[in-house]
Copies of this chain bind each other. A is one copy, B any other.
């Protein structure tokens, strides 16, 4: 075969290239035809669209062409021409071909027919080869890049907080333990307790549930930082909304109050969704067609409307007076459930909502206390279909007030003495929030199960691949 620089299919699908002799490489999606001519649709991951290769049977011979079945990997030299067929504008007339790898139709799990999302979850090592997961994972890339670009353009620094940690950011939430011990023979002290001084780090360590506490150290020195990394929860929740391993984005900004924080959250989310609409048009169109016709409108709607901002107290009052029967009763002091959040967003305001000033009892110890003695400067951003997509707050920067909440909640501050100390040395107002990346991905793709927006989901009893 003649050596030729490969053209990606995303670049080949352009009328400007008609007439060029090109090389394409990729995997067979479908093959159809008759005894004279074969039409082979090739995909190389660069776009949701396939490129059709037209093969004259006589030129290559039946024996050569036989292994060209769904899943096989090919290199094709040929001329790019305007297509006479329906469904594509250009196609390649095969002149030379090499088969890199075959895919026996008797054993290859991804045949032409559609597959259920459940089935594809079981073969997560192959599902990125499907249209659906190609689209989702390309969008996952674009959203990741948009996040970095947004913060970089605004002078925020990407700050790598630790994954292995001796502290628990939330003071709650089940954690995975990280150890080098041989679990058959865990060292004990004389009194029979585990001798962590003999473990790798000389102490008990866990997987982080949030980078916020360390992120605040970054904000109090670099001014404005963000994290974007994996976080972990060992809760035994087998639901379409929970993962044991997920990615989180946590900006933290010195000298921000809760209003600056809300402005940032709204601007950030709109930027990301606008970016998706601009950079992922074909993939969104495909997902809308296959799964969720309202997806494009829902995305545009968020970009075009101001988020409603009101207090938790006002929100609860609306829910109480709504006349709607909720599965979980609601009154001042209860933590809001997804049904309450979605009622406010989808039925009442018909816009994204930011709730602020939650009762201190249902929020974390580090949130700034309001003068009423009852509420804290928390903010949750609520989205249609998703419920809470962002949670954040202004932080309590006053040492005495912070220590009072530590005492009230009975927290053990031994592992986070350094966090407390920042309130002694040059403390300053600051605020931040956390965006669950997979929640965002659910929103922009229209998918409904969180296991379908991360390549290799980790859930109870599942760490395959």
Question: Taking A107-B424, A455-B161 as contacts, is the C-beta distance between A244 and B200 under 8 angstroms?
Answer: yes
Q: How far is the CA of A55 from the CA of B350 in the complex (A)?
A: 52
Given contacts A183-B186, A463-B162, are A103 and B426 in contact (CB under 8 A)? yes
Q: Which residues of B contact A166 (CB under 8 A)?
A: 463-464
A155 at the interface (CB under 8 A from B): yes
Chain B CB within 10 Å — which of A110, A129, A247, A428 has the most?
A: A428
Give chain A interface residues in 382-422, CB to chain B under 8 Å: 397, 418-419, 421-422
Given A25-B428, A73-B428, A103-B425; 17 other pairs, CB 8 A cutoff:
A10-B155, A100-B397, A125-B419, A128-B218, A129-B221, A141-B158, A145-B152, A145-B158, A148-B149, A162-B458, A164-B244, A179-B179, A183-B183, A184-B194, A200-B236, A202-B460, A217-B455
Q: In the bound complex, do residue B160 and residue A427 qualify as a contact, i.e. CB atoms below 8 Å apart?
A: no
Task: Give A188's nearest chain B residue, CB to CB.
Answer: B184
Instruction: Give the nearest-CB partner of A226 in chain B.
Output: B141
Contacts of A325 in B (CB 8 A): none
Interface centre among A6, A193, A200 (most CB of B within 10 A): A200
* Chain A residue total in the interface (Cβ 8 A): 106
Interchain CA distance A149-B147 in the complex, whole Å: 12
Give chain B residues whose Cβ lies under 8 Å from the Cβ of A433: none
What B residues does A462 contact at CB under 8 A? 201-202
Task: Confirm or deny: A116 has a beta carbon within 8 angstroms of a beta carbon on chain B.
Answer: no
CB distance from A421 to the nearest CB of B (A): 7
- The distance in angstroms between the C-alpha atoms of A401 and B352, with both chains bound, is 56
* A and B contact pairs by CB, cutoff 8 A, 26 listed: A71-B425, A71-B426, A72-B426, A100-B429, A101-B427, A110-B425, A125-B421, A125-B422, A134-B222, A137-B157, A138-B157, A141-B152, A141-B159, A145-B152, A148-B149, A162-B456, A166-B464, A179-B179, A181-B183, A200-B244, A201-B460, A201-B463, A205-B463, A217-B455, A229-B230, A418-B464
Asked if A38 is an interface residue, CB under 8 A from chain B, the answer is: no
Tell me if A378 is interfacial: C-beta within 8 Å of chain B: no
A137 near B159 (CB under 8 angstroms)? yes
| B71–A222 CB distance below 8 A | no
8 Å CB interface, A178-194 against B: 178-181, 183-184, 186, 193-194
Docked Cα-Cα span, A33 to B141, in Å, equals 53
Known: A125-B422, A461-B202. A222 touches B160 (CB 8 A): no
- List the B side residues contacting A134 at CB < 8 Å: 221-222
> Is the CB of A30 closer than 8 A to any CB of chain B?
no
Across the interface, do A428 and B101 meet the contact criterion of CB distance under 8 Å?
A: yes
> A137 — which chain B residues lie within 8 A by C-beta?
157, 159, 218, 222
Q: In the complex, are the beta carbons of B45 and A223 less than 8 A apart?
A: yes
Q: At the interface, yes or no: A165 with Cβ under 8 Å from chain B?
A: yes
Query: Closest Cβ of chain B: how far from A57's Cβ, in Å?
Result: 22
Which residue of chain B has its CB nearest to the CB of A463? B201
Q: Which residues of B contact A344 (CB under 8 A)?
A: none
CB-CB under 8 A from A158, the residues of chain B are: 140-141, 144-145
Q: Encode contact with B along A216-246: 1 for CB under 8 Å, 0 otherwise.
A: 0110111110000110101010000000110
In the complex with contacts A174-B180, A229-B230, A463-B166, A222-B426 CB distance below 8 A:
no
